[in-house]
Structure 1
C-alpha cells in the first residue's frame, strides 16, 4: 500500500481509512517502506505521523550504530513521554 501512497485519491483514501481504523482501536500507525519524499508527503496528508524506510536511512546492524549521548537519550525520552501523554488524552 505504501508503494502507491502518492498515486492518487483512491490509494490515499484506502490508507487514510486503514489508519483511522487502527487509531480508533488505540494503535499507533507506522508506515514501513517509505522510499520517496512524495510517499512521505502523501502519508502525512493521510494522518500518518510515524514512518520508516530507505528515505530516512539504510538498515544497519545495531553494533555499527554510534553510541547515543545522554542529551539525545533525554530528548528521546521527553519526546516519547509527550507522545504517550497526547495518545492517552485521546
Structure 2
C-alpha cells in the first residue's frame, strides 16, 4: 500500500471514528477483469480488502465492529477508467 493510500485511509479512519459508533462500513476489494484468471482476481480482490481493513483497524484504531469485508474478483474499471481507483472501496452499509 502506498504512502498516499495510507494518508487517505488515515483521514477515512478519523471520519469513521468521529461518526456514529453504530454505523457499519463495507471495505470492498476489486481486481481488473481484463487481466489475470478469475481465481487469481478473486484472491487479489480479497487481499486488497483485507489490507485496507487491517490498516484501518491495526494502524488507525477503527473498531472491527464498524467494518465488514467484501470482495468482487475481476470487474471492469468503475471509477473514471483509472484502475488505481478501482482496487478497494469503502462504503457505508445501509
- TM score, norm. by length of structure 2: 0.38
Q: Which has the higher contact order (CA 8 A, sep 6+)?
A: 2
- TM score, norm. by length of structure 1: 0.40
Structure number with higher helix proportion: 1
